[in-house]
């Protein structure tokens, strides 16, 4: 029975776009995030405001993927869809605080990091906001994950 439950959890995680290694124990059940407003593009970087809460975390990854015309498509919600996105802006470089308290932050994304590409245009982008802690060859603990469509302006 436990193997069936584990298989269902693994399939659900893959369908949601969460890397299998991120399904390790230790996720924060009280963590949450809410996107506030639109992504504001200013030249070669953009900002997104997020209200979030997490107990622990070492790395924050923020990502926005978009089609050439800025229209939403379920294709961008799938694992590995950055390859088909016309624009993929991201960052692992933002400062953040995980101390069980609610915080509101303005986070920057751009095309500096490897794999990033294209230009964000007015429309909708698929955004992922993930906090992780710990890392080994096989395991990264995902403590906070929020994804959804956000306006780009």
Nearest partner of 71 among 118, 121, 123, 122, judged by Cα: 123
* 3 has a pLDDT exceeding 70: no
Residue ranges of the alpha helices (H) in the chain? 2-15
**96 falls within a domain:** yes
Which of 22-36, 48-62, 108-122, 139-153 is predicted least confidently?
A: 22-36
Which CATH number does the domain housing residue 131 bear? 2.60.40
* pLDDT at residue 94, as a whole number: 98
The answer to the question of residue 83 being in a domain is yes
Query: Is 16 domain-assigned?
Result: no
Any domain includes 27: yes
**pLDDT one-digit tens code per residue, 102-113:** 999 999 999 999
Residue 49 lies inside a defined structural domain of this protein:
yes
Domains in the chain: how many in total?
Answer: 1
Per-residue pLDDT tens over the stretch 131-149 = 999 877 778 899 999 999 9
Residue 23 has pLDDT above 50, yes or no: no
pLDDT of residue 134: 81
Q: To 5 degrees, how large is the angle CA 99–CA 92–CA 60? A: 25
In a domain, 29, yes or no: yes
Tell me if 123 sits within 8 A of 70, measured CB to CB.
yes
73 contacts 85 by C-beta, under 8 angstroms: no
Does a structural domain hold residue 9?
Answer: no
Residue 76 sits in which domain range?
A: 21-152
Res 18 pLDDT > 60:
no
Q: Is residue 32 part of a domain?
A: yes
């Amino acid at each position: 029975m436990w193997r069936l439950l584990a298989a269902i959890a693994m399939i659900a995680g893959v369908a949601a776009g969460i890397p299998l290694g991120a399904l390790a124990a230790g996720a924060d059940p009280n963590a949450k995030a809410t996107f506030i407003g639109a992504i504001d593009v200013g030249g070669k970087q953009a900002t997104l405001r997020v209200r979030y809460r997490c107990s622990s975390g070492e790395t924050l990854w923020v990502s926005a993927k978009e089609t050439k015309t800025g229209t939403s498509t379920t294709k961008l919600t799938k694992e590995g869809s950055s390859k088909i996105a016309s624009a993929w802006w991201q960052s692992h470089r933002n400062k953040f605080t995980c101390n069980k308290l609610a915080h509101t932050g303005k986070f920057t994304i751009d095309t500096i990091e490897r794999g990033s590409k294209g230009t964000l245009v007015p429309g909708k982008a698929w955004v992922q906001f993930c906090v992780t802690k710990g890392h080994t060859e096989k395991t990264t603990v995902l403590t906070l994950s929020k994804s959804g469509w956000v306006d780009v302006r």
